[in-house]
Amino acid sequence: MNHILPILILLPFTGFLLSLIIPSRNENALSTLAFLVTGLHLGILSVFSVYWLIHGHPHLNIKEVVLFSNEHYEFFIDFFFDKLTLVFLLVGSFLTFLVAYYSRYYLHKESGYKRFFNTILLFFTGYTLTVCSGNLETLFMGWEILGITSFLLIAFYRNRYLPVKNAVKVFSVYRIGDVGLILAMWLSHHLFGENITFLKLERIPAWIESFQTHSLTGTFIALMLLLSAAVKSAQLPFSSWLPRAMEGPTPSSAIFYGSLSVHIGLFLLIRTHHLWEMQYTMRVLVAALGIATAIIANLIARVQSSVKTQIAYSSIAQIGLMFLETALGFHNLALYHFAGNALLRTYQLLISPSVVAYRIREQFFHFEPRKPSLEDSWPKRIEYSLYVLSLKEWNLDTLMYTYYWQPFKQLGKKLGNLNLNRALLLFGLSFIPALISSFYQQNIPVYIHHYLAEIFAGIGLLLVLKAFTERRQTTLAWSLVLMNHTWVALAISFNEKVGAKELILYLSGVAIGGISGWLVLRRMKKLEEGINLDQFHGHIKYHPKLAVLLLLSCLAVSGFPISGTFIGIDLVFGHIHENQAFLATMVSLGFIVSGIALIRVYARVFLGPHLKSPPEMPYRSS
């Protein structure tokens, strides 16, 4: 039984690798491969599910691979299978199979036909890895794959302005959820003293005593998990990203934002319910968030003129009710609700083009006046106020910009006119003495040494804030992100004794990705007149290979699971002490902003309408 789980995860990944070598002009081979892989996955899973249920549905746990280990830490991939995994995996496998079949005809002759099926298979790999994860580290690997495939599918029409802009916006919001999960892993390591698996959480009651003696730590872990779940499932105040994500093709909207990816936040809450369900305040908070989201999203959905936006907000409202059911302890009801909502939204999104055409005809030939509704009995001031608020989507975009984007931009602009030469000079004058002093830490006074880690992490944070707001020099923004990672490594080495092997592992991905990305940007600077960050240049039209190389470099530097940086980030947080919340906050903010800055560089240089193309009118998104 234990041998089936790795097969279920490796099957879509193998399909993804095979799809990379199929020529883009061979549409039949690409669609047939996706169809066979998803169909075989569904068939194996169905047979295995029956076998698993007949044999008493035991909890399966497999410690697959140990990626890194030392005397106080072990990073390993762990798989877990139970009722929750079964429901999410069955629904996901069936809907991916359905969408793969639908897309082979829907996207016929589309220029990005191969890209679409590559991304769908990679998404399915990440989804399977997430729902089969046995610990937070494995879940985070799948979580990151879902994030980058979301970006790629929203920006599928990469020669248009709005899809690319909204893809960057959605990725930026996703980074909040990423760091919430990182901070939850950080404190869970301190709380349990190990890389704890979900099976241990269910079977060992020792964690109850840990929570009783570390109530503040337990509350913070629960809040970070709720933050990650709310971001991924588009709950308040992050709801506005979901309709913006509908810029991609209809099949990707159906499988991502109508059915599977948007429910991963619910999966996270149910999977980690042992970490927050015992806290009465957290249960009230989850329930309140779900109720508020359900009410507001339902009001917004009722006044939208776009069918995709209506479906998006309707799905958000239903997920809010699932959050409420989970908070009340009705996990089985939430699973039934998830399956029904996922199937319904996939169906609605796939037929939405036909519905639009049908309704346009109906409104001319069979017009009927609107029937009176409950709102008509309310006082007109309340009715009109709610209507205008809902029409403006409760100003959620403005709220995110004011309290999320604007503070970062204002801090970054404080650094003024910093160019590349000045940045390198200041880096050398400050970092080299700091590095030398790290070898003589015993000679530094205690009252100074105590604050050096925070100071160095703060310097790194300021550098990435400048990279985030830089609008002229692309190589400067790239270099500032790399400098941030070196300052973080130095800060952790001053915080406590860190092995050279751990620092090399962390900086290996940064160095490889950083150098390759730097070379790509220098090459583009020679080939094209301008690659600044004041607009989207669309150079992927003529330089697709360089675009792929820069994207891989961005992923390597930001900590995607293809480089040592991914494990290194977890190691960095492992050396931040439980009582160093300020240091953890600065390091985590640095990771948020650096990831956004890197993707922004990639999008501005290679995506969007090409410079020589006719200007496109930037109409408002759906």
Q: pLDDT tens, 537-573?
A: 888 888 889 999 999 999 888 888 877 788 888 788 8
| 608 three-state secondary structure | coil
- Residues in the chain, overall count: 622
- DSSP, residue by residue, 300-355: HHHH-SSHHHHHHHHHHHHHHHHHHHHHTT-HHHHHHHHHHHHHHHHHHHHTHHHH
Tokens describing residue 500: 């050279």
Mean model confidence pLDDT for the chain: 83
Separation in Å, CA 100 to CA 9, 13, 381: 18, 15, 48
Question: Which residue's entry shows tokens 């944070």?
Answer: 461
Cβ atoms < 10 Å from Cβ of 306: 14
How high is the pLDDT of residue 310? Answer: 86
pLDDT in tens, 77-99: 888 888 999 999 999 999 999 98
At 79, the amino acid letter reads F
Tokens describing residue 202: 């269910």
CA 82 – CA 335 distance, rounded (Å): 13
Q: What average pLDDT does the segment 230-251 reach?
A: 85
Q: What average pLDDT does the segment 261-290 reach?
A: 89
CA 505 – CA 30 distance, rounded (Å): 36
How high is the pLDDT of residue 363? Answer: 62
Tokens describing residue 338: 């998830």
Phi, psi at 608, each rounded to 5°: 90, 175
- Does the pLDDT value for residue 192 go beyond 80? no
Q: Which has the closest alpha carbon to 96: 45, 157, 152, 154?
A: 45
The most confident of the ranges 181-185, 372-376, 442-446 is 181-185
- Does the pLDDT value for residue 210 go beyond 60? no
C-alpha neighbours within 13 Å on the C-beta side of residue 197: 20
- Does the pLDDT value for residue 611 go beyond 80? no
Q: Burial, 45: exposed, middle or buried (Cβ in 10 Å; 0-12, 13-18, 19+)?
A: buried
What kind and span of H or E run contains 74? strand 74-81
Q: Which has the closest alpha carbon to 61: 197, 159, 174, 184?
A: 197
- The DSSP bridge partners found for residue 80 are 61
Cβ atoms < 10 Å from Cβ of 57: 13
Q: Burial, 421: exposed, middle or buried (Cβ in 10 Å; 0-12, 13-18, 19+)?
A: exposed
Q: Which has the closest alpha carbon to 568: 586, 591, 551?
A: 591
pLDDT in tens, 324-334: 999 998 999 99
- Percentage of residues of the chain with pLDDT beyond 90: 20
At 349, the amino acid letter reads L
**Local confidence band at 503 (pLDDT 50, 70, 90 cut-offs):** confident
- Does the pLDDT value for residue 233 go beyond 60? yes
Tokens describing residue 194: 């190990």
Q: What average pLDDT does the segment 493-513 reach?
A: 81
How high is the pLDDT of residue 207? Answer: 53
What kind and span of H or E run contains 352? helix 352-365
- The DSSP bridge partners found for residue 470 are none
In our burial notation (b when 16+ CB lie closer than 10 A, e otherwise), range 359-394 reads eeeeeeeeeeeeeeeeeeeeeeeeeeebeeebeebb
| 214 three-state secondary structure | coil
Q: What average pLDDT does the segment 337-358 reach?
A: 82
CA 496 from centre of chain: 31
How high is the pLDDT of residue 364? Answer: 61
- Does the pLDDT value for residue 206 go beyond 60? no
Tokens describing residue 501: 């092997």
CA 490 – CA 455 distance, rounded (Å): 10
Tokens describing residue 452: 């050096």
**Local confidence band at 622 (pLDDT 50, 70, 90 cut-offs):** very low
| 559 three-state secondary structure | coil
- The DSSP bridge partners found for residue 76 are 66
Question: Which residue's entry shows tokens 């009783």?
Answer: 212
How high is the pLDDT of residue 44? Answer: 92
pLDDT in tens, 33-76: 999 999 999 999 999 999 888 888 888 888 777 777 776 677 78
Q: What average pLDDT does the segment 299-311 reach?
A: 84
Q: What average pLDDT does the segment 13-19 reach?
A: 92
Q: Which has the closest alpha carbon to 596: 254, 267, 4, 177?
A: 177
| 68 three-state secondary structure | strand
How high is the pLDDT of residue 322? Answer: 94
- Does the pLDDT value for residue 258 go beyond 80? no
Q: Burial, 260: exposed, middle or buried (Cβ in 10 Å; 0-12, 13-18, 19+)?
A: buried
**Local confidence band at 209 (pLDDT 50, 70, 90 cut-offs):** low
Using a cut of 0.85, tell me whether the model's pTM lies above it: yes
How high is the pLDDT of residue 366? Answer: 65
**Local confidence band at 620 (pLDDT 50, 70, 90 cut-offs):** low
The most confident of the ranges 116-130, 256-270, 403-417 is 116-130
